[in-house]
Structure formats: C-alpha cells, structure tokens
Amino acid sequence: MKLTLGAVADRFDLPLHGDPSIEICGIANILEAQQDELTFLFNPAYKKHLTTTKAAAVVLCRDASSQCDKPCLISERPRLIWADIAELFDATPKPDGRQHPSSIIGNNVVLGDDVSIGAHAVIESNAVIGDHSTIGPGSVVGANVRIGQNSRLFANVTLYHDVMIGNNVIIHSGAIIGADGFGFEFDDVRGQHIKIPQVYGVVIADEVEIGAGTTIDRGALNHTEIGIGVKLDNQVQVGHGTRIGAHTVISGCTAIAGSMTIGRYCLIGGAVGIIDNITITDNVEITAMSLVSKSIKTKGRYSSGTGLMPGKEWKRNIVGFKQLANLLRRVRRLESGNGNS
C-alpha cells in the first residue's frame, strides 16, 4: 500500500509540517525505518535519533517537532495514533465468508451471514455463530456455544461446550476457553482426590482480545466472566469462576487462581501470580512478577518481590532476610527497655 503523507494527515485530522505529496509505504521504528516509511516518537529518550533516522516522516508531539527537521505529523498521543495508522498497513488475511469443504458442521448449527470457516474446523451441535464471524483452521467450537458478530477465532482455538462469546472478540491461536477448572476434594475413605464437576461455563463480553495459548477455565458454582474490552496477553491462565472487570489489561504469563474478582480498568504486569478467593478493586496497577496474596481495596500501584541486583549481592541479602525475624525481636526488646546493652 502507498499513501501520501497528506492523505494520512487528512484521514486522522493531524497537523502536517512538510510536503504532503511524500509517499508512505509502511511503518517502522525510528532506528530501522527506511526512506519510504513513517516512524513514531513515543519516548523522549529517542529524540536524539530524530536527526539520524532515515524515515520519510515522523509522528510526534508538538513539543518535540521543533527538534525534527523532517516532515512530521503532530499528535499529542503518538502511540494512540500509531494504532490507527498501523491498521492501514495491517497485512492480516481477511476472511472470505466461505466454508471450507473439510470443515465439519454438527446438527442444528446456526450460521449468520458471511461466516468464514477454515479447513478442518469443527462446529458441534446447536452452536450459533453471528454474522461476519470467522472460525480459523483446526478450531473447535463446542456444543451450544454462542459467538456474536464480527468475532474471530484464529487457527486451532478450542471453545468447550456452553461458552458464550460476544461481538468483536478476537481469540488467537492455541487459546482454550472453557476447560475444566482445577477442582478436587480429597476423600479419606477412598484415599484419592475426587473431581468436582465444573458445571458452569465461560462468558466473554464484547471487544475482548485473548492472546495465543491463553486458557480460561469454566466455573464450578458460577460462570467465569470476562468483561467488556478486556485484553489478555499470551499464555495467561484464568481460573474457574473468576470475574475480570471491563477494560482491564493483563500481560503475558500471569496466573490467576479461581473464585477471585478483578475490577475495572486494572493493569496487571507480566508473570503476576494472584491467589484464589480475593478481590482487587478498580484502577489497580500491579507490576510484573508480583505475588498478590491478599485483597486490594484501594486503587493505586502495587509491587512485591525483590528488585534486580548482582547475584553475589542478592545472596548476601537473602542471608540477612532469613535473620530478619530475629532482628525484629531484638529491636522490640530494645524498644521495650528489656534488651541488653
């Protein structure tokens, strides 16, 4: 695709400094952009590269434009406008509205208009798929599943029975929605763990995106619920009966135990662990590699764990950490006047 810089400016109502006839054939980062590509300045630390980038033009905020001798588009939210411009150059294959002859369609399946079904996909009985939705190659849509309009399952997605998917949902390859939650109870008489049937399903609201390899378990006593606009990264685990509020974003490799609630507009970093049966309120940010072991009732930014340091220093500090309880007892004795001088 080729677009003129002027066309991009007009399309997104951006002030333009420079020649509007310059042709743009793609987008790239500021270090690697070529002479026919558009780049973006998100981080002030990269201002020094404005004089050396080969890019045809730069999208940046007004304050930084005075330091740029190249054609530029002005936006106070360069990262946000990046999302809009990048869509123009997105090469993801578009659905064709056809059903591949190798796909298998069960009894009483209802397909909306222009539904695309890829090779070797399986749609089990009584499923309903809304208009303009796409089922990728090798995907399995279980019995009684409901999928809304304009939703897309990429290759090899599995939806177990009784899963509910809203409109404009994207589910990437390898995701598994509706597998059994991890529920067992030990029976002393039989000497074994007894499986607790997970009789509820998973309900995913509109505008949700679910990353590759992510798993969302079905519930035992209530549905697992993913709210409107939630974004889950790759390889996120959501336990049974958990509820995630609207527009919360969760980064990769985070593990969320069952029967807990996450509020709206939360930001959860990568590889976070969250235990079961707790609540996280709205507008909470949890930094990467944290362990959430109790409820969070006040909005804000939370962290746990130890910061990065050289290995030898970390070992010395761990020795001190093991002695912390004894040191605290000694401090208390000293404060109470019972310590030895």
Look up residue 110 and give its two tokens: 């209802």
Which helix (H) or strand (E) covers residue 103, if one does?
Answer: none
pLDDT of residue 341: 46
Kindly report the length of the chain: 341
pLDDT of residue 338: 66
Predicted confidence (pLDDT) per residue in 113-125, tens digit: 999 999 999 999 9
| Of the candidate ranges 193-202, 222-231, 241-250, 315-324, the one whose mean pLDDT is the lowest | 315-324
Decide if 135 contacts 115 (C-beta within 8 A): yes
Summarize the confidence of residues 171-186 as an average pLDDT.
97
Summarize the confidence of residues 158-164 as an average pLDDT.
98
Query: What's the pTM value of the predicted model, to 2 decimals?
Result: 0.91
pLDDT band at 241 (very low <50, low <70, confident <90, very high): very high
Which helix (H) or strand (E) covers residue 318, if one does?
Answer: helix 311-322
Decide if 169 contacts 227 (C-beta within 8 A): no
pLDDT of residue 162: 97
Which helix (H) or strand (E) covers residue 327, if one does?
Answer: helix 324-335
- Strands of 57-60's sheet, edge to edge? 16-17, 72-74, 57-60, 37-40, 26-27
Decide if 73 contacts 56 (C-beta within 8 A): no
- Mean pLDDT (the chain) is 95
Predicted confidence (pLDDT) per residue in 103-152, tens digit: 999 999 999 999 999 999 999 999 999 999 999 999 999 999 999 999 99
pLDDT of residue 339: 56
Catalytically active residues are 240
CA-based max dimension of the chain: 87
pLDDT band at 186 (very low <50, low <70, confident <90, very high): very high
- For the chain, report the end-to-end CA distance as a whole number of angstroms: 80
Summarize the confidence of residues 307-334 as an average pLDDT.
89
What percentage of the chain has pLDDT greater than the value 70?
Answer: 99
Q: Check whether 170 has a pLDDT greater than 80.
A: yes
| Of the candidate ranges 57-61, 321-325, 335-339, the one whose mean pLDDT is the lowest | 335-339
